[in-house]
Structure 1
Amino acid sequence: MSLDRTEFEPALQPLNRARSMPAGFYTDPAIFKAERDNLFLKHWFFLTRAEELPNPGDYRAFDTPGGPIVLIRGNDGHLRAFANYCRHRGSILLEGTGNVGGRITCPYHAWSYLNDGRLYGCPDMKDAEGFDKVENGLVALDLDQWEGFVFARFTKDGPTLLDHLGDFPDRMASHKLGDMRCTWKITLDVACNWKLILENAVETYHTGIVHKNTVGAQQSRTLATKGNWITIQVISGRSIATLTDEIPPFDPISGLDDDARMGTYFTVIFPTVQFAVAQDCLWWLNTIPIAENRTRLEVGGCFPESRLTLPDFATRAEPYYDRWERVAKEDVGILEKQQRALGSALYKPGPLSWRDDMVQAMGVWVVDRLRL
């Protein structure tokens, strides 16, 4: 499809007469490139929890739409994010997770960098005219944290992280998310567009069908938000983070406000991450867009730090891990089928239900930023 806003107009109408997005929104490489240029390279995106890298020299490498990056804790205790390539001829510096101590050494020609990004060693460069070690340190991304959640961006322009989040911190204040600690993660390679994952995460229209044998049918309400995020709240007087009708293994977080006690917030912080915040825990769906039809999905789970010291924590936490993984895989199964269907030459956008309001809201947010 062409990058012409008129092609999206049926999807931008008032909800009661709106259509779903055209197929190219999810299948066209040109749309994906426009998203890379105008969304992924210009907005804050979630990386991980800060406690995942507790010690100087701890690092984690990430693949992102803007290329490989590495998050590393310096000897001064500060986290920093860098483009994950050597300044000599571009070799990848670090893979996976680990600890490099005080220095990162390129596996190709042994240039080395301190864990704060400064160039340390550069063999055989003494005769290079105009060479400046200071100017050849690692290239930094903008990095910020909120309550231990680490975000990065490829530009230093635009709103601060707190401005980007809007009233998300206020809405989640009584959950005390700074006390959360990540205890579990899985990564799934998904053959669908990244937006399909997040659209699915903010509607309960599908739950009684796709998840009929797990979470079952759900009812939700949509809440007004300020900033670059949206949310629904699935109504339930207790946590829905396990698949049993019994009382959840962990007590609710103390001091939850009246709204928080009503159910689980299923949020999307634009552009690429969902935080699902229940009465006793939090889990995330972090989408890493790889191509118009491929996404790497990380599902992570957190509990209040005080729970981790319980002698039977691992046993109590297992039902949560089971739920998060099973439901995520059920969603992946249906979304990969949806992606295949969107490739039909006969595909025509269908009408939206009132239960698709946040699906539409996400599409509108994206289209408004594609510079169409």
Structure 2
Amino acid sequence: MDSNPLSCDLDQRDGLTFSLDAKYYTDPEIFELEKEKIFFRNWQFIAHGSEIPNSGDYITRKIIDQEIIIVRGQDDEIRAFYNVCVHRAHTLVRGDGNCGRLMTCAYHAWSYNLDGTLRNAPNYKHVEGFDRAKVRLSNVRVEIFCGFIFVNLDREAKSLRDLTGDLDKQIAAFVPNHGDLRFLVEKRIEHDCGWKVSVENFNECYHCLVVHKALREKVLELDTYRTATEGIYIRHFCEGRAPDDSMYRFDPAQGQNMGAFFIWPNVAIVSYPGGIVSTRHFIPINGRQTIYSYRWYTDGRASDDDILDMAQKHYDTNGVEDAAVVHEVQKGLESRGYAQGPLMIDRGLTESSEHGVSHLQRLVLRALAS
């Protein structure tokens, strides 16, 4: 990357707003900046709180190359720590499960209470000056938002609730029982592209009429699709098709419309007609590889069978279709024939407008320039 300072706004020419330069999707140094200034400073989605219901239940997740433990304590509090023993840096726990009352390192058997304090270090009583009370795991900030667990590696960051204003109320209008959700299934698709390509694709429906035949004919009334941007979130709304005209079964009494709420930088909470709820998590692996994780939940408004049916049909249609187009976009970004393109932002901010993309790109630029 050149030494010129990064601009904190998009290029404007002849009244048009232009997309980010291709280097923002291809330069390894920019991805390293994104790790530090975006993913290590902003709130990262983990799971729903109901996925660790009991004391000692834990899950491990990676934020790019930083592995985190999220555990429910004996006091019912959910806490997060870096997944590393503070003795000689061995990984503390693996996978997901229940560790009982203690998290114990498999290297030298140092054990920690569920609040991160040291319980025992073999031979510590014979080590002069060793104070067990001063040793604890390195903690990570945790916040529960609409029943979902988020973490932030930046101890100085603003709280997610302060950053999102009344977004919780907007989500509750579509998912009134968000605290009672139960996880059903995860569908993962590899996106052969950088994370921004995946996120931008989610936050515009300009491509929907071209790419998503099942979506436009059997799920949503796409001419009603609208996107609104505010702060660190983007709100999507669309009317759903009638049950007899839908590709999946649902009860219209549980909701007839779609509401999707993208939270910067890489997760969305989505409610489909019939009260079918999912999260969309765009997990960066490196600068050119992303995992698109669809996690599907129930709060009892729809049957498990109907949700599982929807999850599979969505994977087979939208999921596969999006994976194909974002791969082709990444290939194009790496072509010497492409630098920037004009974003199609129309006056009415209609279903074809790309103002959601411009909002995201400004968030990227401002973060990198901070």
Same-fold call, TM cutoff 0.5: yes
Please report the TM-score for the alignment, with normalisation by the length of structure 1: 0.87
The residue aligned with 2:305 is: 315
The residue aligned with 2:335 is: 344
Once superposed, what is the RMSD of the aligned Cα atoms? 2.6
Identity %: 29
Q: Which amino acid aligns with 2:287?
A: E
Equivalent pairs, count: 356
The residue aligned with 1:196 is: 197
The residue aligned with 2:286 is: 291
1:152 paired with 2:151, answer yes
Q: Which amino acid aligns with 1:316?
A: D
CA drift of 1:51 comes to: 0.4
The residue aligned with 1:273 is: 267
The residue aligned with 2:28 is: 29
Unaligned runs of 5+ in 2: 346-352
1:359 paired with 2:363, answer no
Q: Which amino acid aligns with 1:275?
A: I
Alignment of 1:103-142 (within 5 A): 103-142=102-141
Alignment of 1:113-262 (within 5 A): 113-175=112-174, 176=176, 177-213=178-214, 215=216, 218-236=222-240, 245-246=245-246, 248-252=248-252, 254=254
CA drift of 1:316 comes to: 2.2
Secondary structure of the 2:186 match is: strand
Partner Cα distance (2:60, 2:339) in 1: 40
Q: Which amino acid aligns with 2:113?
A: L
Secondary structure of the 2:369 match is: coil
Partner Cα distance (1:358, 1:15) in 2: 20
> Are 2:270 and 2:278, in contact at CA under 8 Å, matched by a contact in 1?
yes
- Greater displacement, 14-23 / 271-280: 14-23
Q: Which amino acid aligns with 2:47?
A: T
Q: Which amino acid aligns with 1:351?
A: P
- Greater displacement, 14-23 / 201-210: 14-23
CA drift of 1:7 comes to: 6.2
The residue aligned with 1:325 is: 315
Can you list the C-alpha shifts for 1:175-221, whole angstroms capped at 9, x where unaligned? 21334332121233332111111111111111222222555583354
> Are 1:231 and 1:358, in contact at CA under 8 Å, matched by a contact in 2?
no
Q: Which amino acid aligns with 2:181?
A: M
Secondary structure of the 2:68 match is: strand
- Greater displacement, 47-56 / 224-233: 224-233
CA drift of 1:75 comes to: 1.6
> Are 2:6 and 2:369, in contact at CA under 8 Å, matched by a contact in 1?
no
> Are 1:8 and 1:22, in contact at CA under 8 Å, matched by a contact in 2?
no
Change (3 A) 1:321 1:28: same
Instruction: List, as ranges, runs of 4+ consecutive aligned residues in structure 1 with deviation greater than 6 Å.
Output: none
Can you list the C-alpha shifts for 1:19-49, whole angstroms capped at 9, x where unaligned? 2211111111221122122221111111100
Partner Cα distance (1:306, 1:212) in 2: 27
Q: Which amino acid aligns with 2:211?
A: V
> Are 2:143 and 2:151, in contact at CA under 8 Å, matched by a contact in 1?
yes
Partner Cα distance (1:325, 1:6) in 2: 37
Secondary structure of the 2:213 match is: coil
Change (3 A) 1:50 1:129: same
Q: Which amino acid aligns with 1:32?
A: F
> Are 2:190 and 2:323, in contact at CA under 8 Å, matched by a contact in 1?
no
> Are 1:102 and 1:114, in contact at CA under 8 Å, matched by a contact in 2?
yes
Can you list the C-alpha shifts for 1:201-251, whole angstroms capped at 9, x where unaligned? 111111222222555583354454543101232333558xxxx82485332
CA drift of 1:296 comes to: 2.6
